[in-house]
Amino acid sequence: MGKGPYSLFEFQGVLPPLPVPELAETCTKYLEVARPLLSPEEYDRTEEALRLLQEKDGKPLQKYLIRRSWKKRSWLVEWWIENIYLKRREPLPENSNYYFLDGLELPASCQLSRAATIIFNLLKFRELVSSEKLQGVFFQNRVPMCMDGYRYLFGTCRIPCVEKDYFVMHHHTKHIVVIRKGYYFSMDVYTHDDGTLQQLSPAEIKEQLRIICETADAEDSNGLANSLASVTSQHRTVWAKQRQVMLESEQNAESLEIIETAITVISLDTVSPQDLSEQAKLVMMGDGTNRWYDKSMTIVVFPNGKAGATVEHSYMDATIFSRAWEYVLSHEQYKNGQVPAEQCAWWRKLAPPKQLQWNLNGFTPALEGAKTHIQKTIQDIDLVVVGSDYGKGWIKKQRVSPDSFLQMALQLAYYRLHEETPKTYESATTRMFALGRTETIRSVSDHSVKWVKSMDRDDVSPEDKVSLLKKAIQYQTDYKVAAVNGRGVDRHLLGLYLAAQDMGHPLPQFFNTKAWMMTDKLSTSQAPAKFTQEWKLQTCTVGYGFGPSHMEGYSVSYMVIGEDLVNFHICTRKHCTATMSEKMGAAIKQAMTDMKALMEGK
């Protein structure tokens, strides 16, 4: 592949379709995945069910998938978005959305200067996307990757419905919405100048934000009305029915449309986090007044200048947003912590931001319920961010994959806390294929279980422990390569399941086995980074995270930062007394310490 430059969607039309794996290959792989998690009796039942799936029940379903792959650019993506996101009824903030934090170093402690610069850079990135001047991404600098997700960054919103949500896209809107103390303001970020449409400068954006803060801070509290954003945190059907009632008022309909069509939402919070763990939880959850969870993204800026974003997941995986966020953070410019003076040498007469109005008469019970729900959820979320004592630099010197090494650290930490092997999810991107999203890496193997159980045994030599660890790492590495190349098992099995539904066929016996129905007690993901030449260690995001997929499990996302640091974002639910994020963080650090000592022969 030449150096280009290539436009954003240059290779969209020539990307290969996601393959449909061979049924026999998937069944064989799944037995490997399931064996460490099942009793001998459960394994035998799974083996028999997979034999039936391969030899009988799955054959018509496999043919259906193959025919579907001939007709569509991706046999999976429509099913994936519909069944994994839009049909799901669980609340978004802790079950679907994800968050990102800002960089290692704080470039500006002035809230309004930071917010203005972030908005300015976001709009510059939007311009690169809309003009298609943003360069595409290449896997290992050679293979073009799907860029479709960039279409959903700006001006998009998930709309709640009783049975299945839908998505709206508005690519030509010129306003953002700013939330301050539960008040909402529509703010134009473009102006006509000399007959052309021009983006506001950082100084102009800052002045508009100052007007918003001055207006909101002078307002008396509207009580429950200030908690309106909490309605978006609820069960989707509950929120859908409430939204239908709200739309009966023309005033509400107008205000909702302004939010839902906005380029993005900005929240100017009033409480500053004191550490990364508090920052992560505040960005993820807010306080019930300041996150519109349906929007593709809500950018959060705190009074001390720290920042982050919460992102709706339906159409946009973290590999998409992280590039936009990296661009924003790496292009910030300040002078003494303020918007540079040279950028405010001249001023245009701008219309002031417009405060949105609401008619919430009779809506009090709904607001009370929504506020109670989000407050209970906030109290239940246990989120910590833990940094490692070494990073990928040392791991690479051991000639092993850093990601695989870190996955084994998570396995060891979990086993030491719970004395069991967790079903583990790790996401892998399939964006080498048209409309590709993700596949599951299954890190647990016979090798990983043997190694984990050996680590605290004195009767196993260090040499044998190293050998077992390297076998476990190699298995995970090989599985990841297969997953990235469309040869994982989870999406194929999901496709067979949905094919049976589409065809009106009885579900094969396999889909009633424990192996299939087990949920992931350890849900993990590595945050992608280093998309741009402007990437700098100082501005690199300190990571991202999401809620646990299992009420009695963990979510662990990790960010490899430079050569010497890995940040782990660990989230659990406090009502589950068996899981504690702080204990898991300590166990991960200890696991990494012990693994380093083992590899160094100490």
CA dihedral 397, 563, 385, 527 (to 10 degrees): -90
Q: In what order do the strands lie in the sheet with 265-268?
A: 354-355, 183-188, 175-180, 265-268, 297-301, 307-311, 98-101, 544-546
pLDDT in tens, 256-278: 999 999 999 999 999 999 999 99
Question: What are the phi and psi torsion angles at 329 (to 5°)?
Answer: -70, -35
Beta bridge partners of 568: 386, 558
The token pair that represents 37 in the structure block: 């998690």
- Give the per-residue pLDDT at 344: 47
Domain 94-380 matches domain 388-423+443-486+519-602 at the CATH topology level: yes
pLDDT in tens, 304-350: 999 999 999 999 999 999 999 999 999 999 988 898 765 544 567 88
pLDDT in tens, 89-124: 999 999 999 999 999 999 999 999 999 999 999 999
pLDDT > 90 fraction of the chain, expressed in percent and rounded? 89
Three-class DSSP category at 382: strand
Beta strands in 87-229 (DSSP E): 98-101, 138-139, 143-144, 156-159, 166-169, 175-180, 183-188, 190-193, 196-199
Q: Domain spans of the chain?
A: 94-380, 388-423+443-486+519-602
Name the amino acid, one letter, at 200.
L
Q: How far apart are CA 200 and CA 363, in angstroms?
A: 37
| Fold category of 94-380 in CATH | Chloramphenicol Acetyltransferase (3.30.559)
- Give the per-residue pLDDT at 529: 80
Least Cα distance to 222 among 291, 292, 289 occurs for 289
Q: Which helix (H) or strand (E) holds 289?
A: none
Runs of H (alpha helix) within 381-425 = 392-397, 402-418
Residue 195 has pLDDT above 80, yes or no: no
Residue 473 has pLDDT above 60, yes or no: yes
Which one is catalytic: 175, 313, 550, 569? 313
Q: How far apart are CA 568 and CA 585, in angstroms?
A: 8
Beta strands in 225-364 (DSSP E): 265-268, 297-301, 307-311, 354-355
Q: 196 versus 176: which is more confidently predicted?
A: 176
Least Cα distance to 554 among 520, 588, 527 occurs for 520
Residue 179 has pLDDT above 80, yes or no: yes
Residue 58: exposed, middle, or buried by beta-carbon count in 10 A (0-12, 13-18, 19+)? buried
Check if 331 is active-site.
Answer: no
Over residues 1-9, the mean pLDDT reads 77
Beta bridge partners of 8: none
Distances (CA, A) of 550 to 16, 83, 418, 547: 34, 18, 15, 9
pLDDT in tens, 447-471: 999 999 999 999 999 999 999 999 9
Question: What are the phi and psi torsion angles at 167 (to 5°)?
Answer: -120, 140
- Give the per-residue pLDDT at 534: 77
Average pLDDT value for the chain? 95
| Fold category of 388-423+443-486+519-602 in CATH | Chloramphenicol Acetyltransferase (3.30.559)
pLDDT in tens, 407-435: 999 999 999 999 999 999 999 999 999 99
Over residues 221-250, the mean pLDDT reads 94
Q: Which helix (H) or strand (E) holds 356?
A: none
